[in-house]
Chain A
Amino acid sequence: MSKITHTLTIQASQQPIINVYKIYQRNYLKKLFVMSMEIKIAVTTLSEEDSKIISSALQMLADAGKKFTTSLRGIIDAHLLVIDADTEQGDHALQSSTAGQVKLLLATSPASGKNIVAVKKPIEIQSLKLLLEKLFDKMHDQLVRTTMMQVQTEHKVEIQQSTSCKTMLQVLLAAKNNKTVLRICSTQFPDVFIDGTNNSMASTIPQTEVVGFVKQPLDNVVVDQLKSSEFAVHSNKMNIQSLHNTLWVAAIECSNGQLLPDNSLDIPIKLRAWPNFTRNSFKPEYLQLAAILAKQAITLSQLQQLSGVPLKEIINFYNAAHAVDLIDKVEKDTNEPAATKPAISAQKKGLLVKIALRLGLGK
């Protein structure tokens, strides 16, 4: 097979451009692997009667076109193990298995665990066949995904610069700015679909895992560009939300104090609107930054002097606000301080600090 070069480019310019992987080459590879990928099964420690039932169920699946094979090396390299959990030998086989192998346990009492599916005895052919069918489909998708990741690594992705996609933040921003539709595949998370044409994101990732999703290294990620119409198809039965929610989290978590391209510490900026902090991750100092930027146009350098907040946090906040279109860059020179209400008295300020402390807010 000839070497396939993939390019993933974001050019730093007024209008960043993203060229995602060459789809036809990837689809060709995918087709090859889909055809050749079979699930390896090891059936072990079953009684004669149970063995016959399993064989019958597997035969029904083979007749239905499911591809699988018996592992020639026993449980060692099997994807799926079928084990009688009520026997000593079965228990031994279970202990010998790896965490990544799926174990179908036939047992009289309930069992659970990662990658463990338990079937209560006595087993029945039809229900077993349905269960195996579901397992096969799930395992097959996972197998394809894992193998594609390996292919990607082997074929050495070349990333051209002006500015490369190094973080999920940049991938999401590129989709939004270029109004593209993307599928983001990774081994650790379910597929995520981005519709940059109307700032939507579809996924089944729980809210508690969004931080993990945005922080994952891009080495483990494959990005496909899709047609606009494909978003509706793929996002069916998924949670669809505003892309801004995830962009905000990605900016806070991935910026690491690095300003987004085409932004400066010394250009006056102002908040167009307050971020919706109850639905976005935030730190107490962000409220202070938002309050200042809502009131007057100043540079980030000035903001740092005025607020005392570390510059890294200011940049993370700024990137997040910028990513969700809350920042206005002000053209005119703002050396003059903005007109404000008279400064609050020290006594009043002290009172406000005490209220904050009483409610357990901030410093």
Chain B
Amino acid sequence: MDKIIFTGPVGAGKTTAIGAISETPPVGTDVQCTDQYRQLKEKTTVAMDYSYITLEDGTRIHLYGTPGQERFSFMWNILTQGGIGLVLLINRDHSDPIAQMEFYLDAFKDFINETGVVIGITRSGMDNNTSIDDFQQKLLQRQQIFPVFEVDARSTDDVKLLIHALLAVLQV
């Protein structure tokens, strides 16, 4: 099963990004938020989001969005099995988006080493202090050079660019 995994914290735009490029609206497993995230979002994904794109020869590329909350992290390893690569979305509006980026890069370290990752920074229109340079500085400290782009998860072009960069990384 060929699949691209979308991951990132709650509210980063995973479901939205999948919807921006998939052929059908993502099938979700969203339920009412009852924990501390309820102020951030009304609903949250508890298992996965799913949609797909179909290639010319009929092959389906499955698009999976992981649940953002850490308590559902047991799903992350399950979902990455057989995956082609990882799209990590980080919400720049968070109080410490760089720490979040590090967390997910560590959580998916093995999968990233086997395949590849591209990082999309969402909510970049907001006034906030964390710049793309800050994310890249942290990656430099970690001796990692990954694509990091400011994206709008609602924008088909932006999400396609993320996938394109991921494909370029995978082909090298």
Instruction: Please give the residue numbers on chain A whose beta carbons come within 8 Å of chain B beta carbons, in ascending order.
Output: 271-274, 276-279, 284, 287-288, 290-292, 294-295, 340-341, 344, 348-349, 351-352, 354-362
Contacts A355-B61, A359-B164 given: A278-B169 contact, CB under 8 Å? no
Kindly identify which residue among A272, A277, A355, A358 contacts B149, using a CB–CB cutoff of 8 Å.
A277
Contacts A359-B164, A360-B160 given: A273-B170 contact, CB under 8 Å? no
Q: Pick the most buried of B136, B146, B158, B171: most chain A CB atoms within 10 A of its CB.
A: B171
Q: Are A278 and B167 in contact (CB under 8 A)?
A: no
* Cβ proximity bits B133-172 to A, threshold 8 Å, 1 near / 0 not: 0001001100001111111000000101101110111111
Q: Are B146 and A274 in contact (CB under 8 A)?
A: yes
* Cβ proximity bits B111-149 to A, threshold 8 Å, 1 near / 0 not: 001100000000000000000100010011000011111
Count how many pairs of residues, one from A and one from B, have CB atoms less than 8 Å apart in the complex.
95
Residues of A with C-beta under 8 A to B132: 276
Kindly identify which residue among B140, B158, B172 contacts A272, using a CB–CB cutoff of 8 Å.
B140
Chain A: which residue is nearest B113 at the CB level? A341
Q: Are A361 and B145 in contact (CB under 8 A)?
A: no
Q: Are A361 and B167 in contact (CB under 8 A)?
A: yes
> Can you offer 19 A-B residue contacts whose CB atoms are under 8 A?
A272-B145, A273-B140, A278-B151, A278-B158, A278-B161, A279-B149, A287-B168, A290-B147, A290-B168, A291-B165, A295-B172, A341-B113, A351-B59, A356-B164, A356-B167, A358-B54, A358-B55, A358-B61, A359-B164
Tell me if B18 counts as interface (CB < 8 A to partner A): no
Q: How far is the CB of B164 from chain A (nearest CB, A)?
A: 4
Residues of A with C-beta under 8 A to B136: 273-274
Residues of A with C-beta under 8 A to B172: 291-292, 295, 340
Contacts A276-B149, A349-B171 given: A361-B160 contact, CB under 8 Å? yes
Residues of B with C-beta under 8 A to A341: 113-114
